[in-house]
Amino acid sequence: MASEINVGQMRVLVTGASGLIGKAIEHVVYHEGGKRDGEEWIFISSKDGDLTDLGQTKAVFEKFRPTHVIHLAAKVGGLFIHLKENLRFLRENILINDNVLQTAHETGVTKVVSCLSSCIFPDKTTYPIDETMIHDGPPHESNFGYSHAKRIIDIQNRAYFQQHGRCYTSVIPTNVFGPFDNFTAENGHVLSAVIGKTYKAKQEGTQVNVCGTGNPRRQFTYSLDLGRIIIWALREYKEVEPIIASVGVDEEITIKEAVHMIAESLDFKGKIHYDTTMSDGQMRKTASNGKLKCYLPDFTFTPVNEAVKMTCDWFVANYDIANK
Ligand code: NAP
Ligand code: GFB
């Protein structure tokens, strides 16, 4: 399925722009020359309107009148908040996505790029996973609420194309990290949570407690790299079907390797303790970026150790404003 897109005068609304990926897109647009002539970019957060509420969503679209939308707004978090709040992840994300996509359609938005996640793929599968496999079996139990809500975006995109010819599409990131992440121990994803915990342990001269065995494997993608890909997708990617936006399968590392990169970046010399009573979550979800590489053969990802170092440096330099 491919649709014609009219790129020229664009008023781009970025929902969820105060978060990790929104901040990365804002950086690319304003500090890497990402903004082109004829483009206007609008970055909004929940302060501009609660997108779980249809009336507030309509008011946001009436106020900003976008022609294009990058839809990032979502209830997001690491493994441990998912384990506690599957229902909330399911309901809030279903509401946000339905309100945004339907309002975009009703107000004539030409293109929407939404974010899925590699955790939504079937848990029992063959590797590497690719874009054709999203609906092939149940997702991992730890985040089934979020995963089903995200899968429905893909169904909605196909339905908006079938019934209305809309080019509403999605990208599928793997684990993302970078400046402006959620560094809290309770709700953060692994890299940001462990950065926050390691920094604190260094200040207090204590050990770092890492959850689980450290054996699960993840593909970690730097938020700035993802921001560049999402902007490309908004302008150039014409398929309704999703595209995996991630470092390649060869870049996959264990949690333990990631923790060691953090310790090195923060110059932490203390003890690292693995609490094996805590969940490992999904052991792997290795995803192929082969489709992306066909479209963008020259795209280079920031090596994970360099990106971890830059994120640690950002955290230390911005400790006062970081969400920790
Ligand atoms: P994030 O840092 O948690 O930011 C979430 C954003 O959504 C914030 O701007 C937040 O606004 C907004 N938001 C939440 N609830 C809202 C509501 N009811 N109404 C309006 N806005 C609301 O998330 P992120 O990591 O940047 O993720 C962006 C997108 O990428 C999400 O769709 C996520 O599912 C997807 N994704 C993320 C990862 C990852 O590893 N982080 C991986 C794969 C996919 P406030 O700041 O005002 O609350
Ligand atoms: O990033 P994360 O929370 O989520 O990573 P997922 C979880 C993995 O890191 C598990 C280990 O193996 C944990 O045992 N881990 C170690 C920690 N220490 C910590 C810690 O302090 N905090 C956290 N959070 N983990 C998420 C999904 O899965 O992937 C989301 O739940 C989202 O839906 C995201 O899509 C991209 O990679 O397991």
Task: Return d(Cα 265, Cα 312) in angstroms, integer.
Answer: 7
Ligand 2 midpoint to CA 48 (Å): 29
Task: Return d(Cα 282, Cα 124) in angstroms, integer.
Answer: 10
In-domain check, residue 186: no
209 Cβ contact list (under 8 Å, min separation 6): 197, 273, 275
Ligand 2 midpoint to CA 256 (Å): 12
Share of the chain above pLDDT 90, in %: 95
Taking CA atoms only, the protein residue closest to ligand 2 atom 6 is 79
Quote the DSSP letter at residue 243.
Answer: E
Q: Closest ligand 1 atom to the C-alpha of 221?
A: 40
| The pLDDT of residue 5 | 47
In-domain check, residue 245: yes
Q: 207, 322, 228, 310: which is closest to 262 by C-alpha?
A: 310
pTM: 0.96
In-domain check, residue 82: yes
Task: Return d(Cα 193, Cα 184) in angstroms, integer.
Answer: 5
CA 324 to chain centre: 19
Ligand nearest to the CA of 198: 2
User: Which pLDDT tens digit goes with each residue over 219-251?
Assistant: 999 999 999 999 999 999 999 999 999 999 999
In-domain check, residue 274: no
What is the residue-averaged pLDDT of the chain? 96
| The pLDDT of residue 146 | 98
- Active-site annotation holds for 199: no
Q: Closest ligand 1 atom to the C-alpha of 52?
A: 18
Give the residue carrying structure tokens 């490992």. 280
Give the pair of three-digit tokens for residue 189: 């994803």
Q: Closest ligand 1 atom to the C-alpha of 173?
A: 43
How many domains does the structure of the chain reveal? 1
Could you write out the three-class secondary structure of 215-257?
A: CCEECEEEHHHHHHHHHHHHHHCCECCCEEECCCHHHCEEHHH
Ligand nearest to the CA of 197: 2
Task: Return d(Cα 253, Cα 247) in angstroms, integer.
Answer: 11
Residue-wise pLDDT tens for the chain (324 aa)? 654 444 558 999 999 999 999 999 999 999 997 788 889 999 999 999 999 999 999 999 999 999 999 999 999 999 999 999 999 999 999 999 999 999 999 999 999 999 999 999 999 999 999 999 999 999 999 999 999 999 999 999 999 999 999 999 999 999 999 999 999 999 999 999 999 999 999 999 999 999 999 999 999 999 999 999 999 999 999 999 999 999 999 999 999 999 999 999 999 999 999 999 999 999 999 999 999 999 999 999 999 999 999 999 999 999 999 999
Ligand 1 midpoint to CA 110 (Å): 22
Q: Evaluate whether 307 touches 178 at the Cβ level (below 8 Å).
A: yes
Ligand 1: residue of 13, 14, 21 to mutate (most ligand atoms within 8 A of CB) is 21
Quote the DSSP letter at residue 219.
Answer: -
Task: Return d(Cα 154, Cα 149) in angstroms, integer.
Answer: 10
Taking CA atoms only, the protein residue closest to ligand 2 atom 9 is 190
Taking CA atoms only, the protein residue closest to ligand 2 atom 30 is 78
| The pLDDT of residue 9 | 85
In-domain check, residue 257: no
Ligand 1 midpoint to CA 74 (Å): 4
Q: Closest ligand 1 atom to the C-alpha of 53?
A: 18
CATH code where residue 121 lies: 3.40.50.720
Work out the angle between the directed axes of helices 86-106 and 144-164 (0-180°, nearest 10). Answer: 20
Q: Closest ligand 2 atom to the C-alpha of 175?
A: 36
Q: Evaluate whether 211 touches 80 at the Cβ level (below 8 Å).
A: yes
Ligand 1 midpoint to CA 28 (Å): 18
Largest Cα–Cα separation, the chain: 61
Q: Whole domain around residue 161: which residue ranges? A: 10-179+219-250+286-302
Task: Return d(Cα 46, Cα 50) in angstroms, integer.
Answer: 5
In-domain check, residue 320: no
Q: 261, 251, 273: which is closest to 313 by C-alpha?
A: 261
**Residue of 146, 168, 199, 237 marked active site:** 146
Give the pair of three-digit tokens for residue 282: 């999904």
Residues with CB under 6 A from ligand 1: 16-22, 45-47, 50-52, 72-76, 96, 115, 117, 173, 175-176, 182, 189
In-domain check, residue 37: yes
Ligand 2 in contact with 194 (CB < 6 A)?
yes
Q: 52, 43, 170, 154: which is closest to 113 by C-alpha?
A: 170
Radius of gyration of the chain (CA): 19
How would you list the strands of the sheet with 10-15, edge to edge?
Answer: 39-43, 10-15, 68-71, 111-115, 167-173, 243-245
Task: Return d(Cα 215, Cα 208) in angstroms, integer.
Answer: 17
Ligand 2 midpoint to CA 220 (Å): 11
